[in-house]
Amino acid sequence: MTRWAQRVRQPVALAHLAPWRCRAGLRLARMAALLAIGLAVAAPAVGADPPPRMPHIRSADRAMLEVLREGGRRSLTFKRFVDEIEQSDLIVYVEATREVPPGMQAYLQLAGANARLRFVRIVVRIPASAETLIARLGHELEHATEIARAPEVRDQAGLDAFYRRIGDHSGAGWDTSAARSAGNIVLDELHHDTHATPATVTVVATKVPR
């Protein structure tokens, strides 16, 4: 399985989506173990309403979930990505870690698919400020929406063909102009938000259960 990773120029000039070799043993079953852990990024439903369906954007890390919620509150672009993914067949698992390939700050990986759902994994490097994490996630969520709109992308071969068609390649790998713009737009929206919180967020790195 191939990771697709982005190289980020500091402070947050979000750029490349590139292949990286995955550690052996990552399987769809590991992702299924998080089904009971996912928390909604959007506001919960009114008590009288039926229980909401499981969210499509999930994490085993409560601090990372708060970063996702903050992104949805402070950036209209970020919220648009979340809303579109929630209406798709794509499940997105978000992880934070200190261990990423050299030069990488975040990446997206196609994790698999079944008859009804497709699964991707987004990994972001910590520590970083909340705004930096949100901008990096905005870049990767744009890639997630690109995949959500492409039902033919169900395996690595489909992913490769898709980005050969819509992406551009420059050294580190594939990316899209939409994703590059998305990270910068999200960051700009955060800077113009009156509830800016520049404090650094150090998230405890969690791994998908084996």
Cα dist from 163 to 8, 71, 91, 147, whole Å? 19, 26, 19, 10
Instruction: List, for residues 51-81, the tens digit of each pLDDT value.
Output: 667 899 999 999 999 999 999 999 999 999 9
Predicted confidence band of residue 170 (pLDDT cuts 50, 70, 90)? low
User: Where are the chain's structural domains?
Assistant: 2-43+53-193
Residue 10's Cα: distance from chain center in Å? 19
Q: Could you count the other beta carbons within 10 Å of the beta carbon of residue 66?
A: 16
Structure confidence at residue 18 (pLDDT): 40
pLDDT tens, position by position, 95-135: 999 988 777 789 999 999 999 999 999 999 999 999 999 99
Write down the pLDDT at residue 194. Answer: 57
Where would I find the beta strands (DSSP E) of the chain?
2-9, 13-14, 18-21, 57-58, 90-97, 104-113, 118-125, 128-129, 168-169, 174-175, 200-201
In the chain the first and final C-alpha atoms are separated, in Å, by 17
Q: Which residues, in sequence order, are CB contacts of 175 under 8 Å at separation 6+?
A: 6, 15, 16, 17, 167, 168, 169
Contact by Cβ (8 Å): 187, 131: yes
Residue 112 CA to residue 134 CA, distance in Å, equals: 25
> Which tokens in the block code for residue 122?
């987004």
- Give 171's pLDDT tier (boundaries 50, 70, 90): low
Task: Return the biggest CA–CA distance within the chain.
Answer: 53
Please classify residue 148 by burial: count the beta carbons closer than 10 Å to its beta carbon, then call 0-12 exposed, 13-18 middle and 19+ buried. Answer: buried
How far does Cα 95 stand from its chain's mean position?
Answer: 8
> Residue 89 is encoded by which pair of tokens?
């067949």
Pairwise pLDDT comparison (196 vs 205), residue with the higher score: 196
